[in-house]
Amino acid sequence: MNEIIEIKKDKELNEIKETDTGRKFRYKVAVIGDGRVGKTSLIKKYTQGSFKKEYIKTLGAQFYTYDKKINRDKIRLMFWDIAGQDKFHFLRPNFFKNSKAAIIVYSLEESNFGRESFNHIMDWYNVLTKHCGEIPIVVFANKVDLVDETKLDNSSIQDMVNKNSFLGYYITSAKTGEGVTKAFNAIIETLNYKILISE
């Protein structure tokens, strides 16, 4: 039986289809944060080139579809990435529309740029929740290869995570690959968990 039977079309979970080979899920994940913190590099590192890229000119955004199989289920992730203007006030509502989770990226670089990117996390969070309400958020502290990890003070990011009920923060390097798989997998696990509890 090859026929696709749609068992559920739930606003909350996007599209869920059941076929004889398992279920199919599709999620949009918004990837936000200041320009040059490494958003595009992280997506590329995680998907190892096995992504399909599409550019949406009117939104100044691009998205990368990435298919993952978990047991018999097929999960299609759509990472929405900002192209060009990375200032939160330039983003159109459609960039955020229907996002099921978000990744906020900042840079650990010890410079004004790095510190600013940390200070802007709340600006990104505010614009995100304005458009999406409360969705799962994970923070990526990127470019760890540029700092001495043993001297990192994670108390301010930990405070921010606790205060705002973010799912957590992950220390990453798109350059070396450190932490990247673990960080993205955290998002996928959360989305899967949402499926399980809604069943």
> Does residue 39 interact with ligand GDP by CB under 6 A?
yes
> Does residue 142 interact with ligand GDP by CB under 6 A?
yes
Name the segment binding ligand GDP (CB under 6 A); options: 5-13, 125-133, 138-146, 155-163: 138-146
For residue 72, the minimal CB distance to ligand GDP (Å) is: 34
For residue 58, the minimal CB distance to ligand GDP (Å) is: 19
Asked whether 87 and 127 are in contact (CB, 8 A), the reply is: no
> Does residue 120 interact with ligand GDP by CB under 6 A?
no
For residue 142, the minimal CB distance to Mg ion (Å) is: 12
Name the segment binding ligand GDP (CB under 6 A); options: 35-43, 66-74, 94-102, 154-162: 35-43
**What backbone torsions phi and psi does residue 116 show, to the nearest 5 degrees?**
-60, -40
> What phi-psi label fits residue 36: left (phi over 0), alpha (psi between -120 and 50 degrees) or beta?
left
Nearer residue to ligand GDP within complex by CB, 87 or 130:
87
What length does the chain have?
Answer: 199
CA distances (Å), origin 182, targets 22, 185, 189: 25, 5, 10
d(CA 101, CA 97): 11
Among 102, 187, 114, which residue's Cα sits nearest to residue 144? 114
- CB under 5 to 8 A by kind: which of ligand GDP, Mg ion, none does 26 bind? none
Give residues in contact with Mg ion (CB under 5 A).
39-40
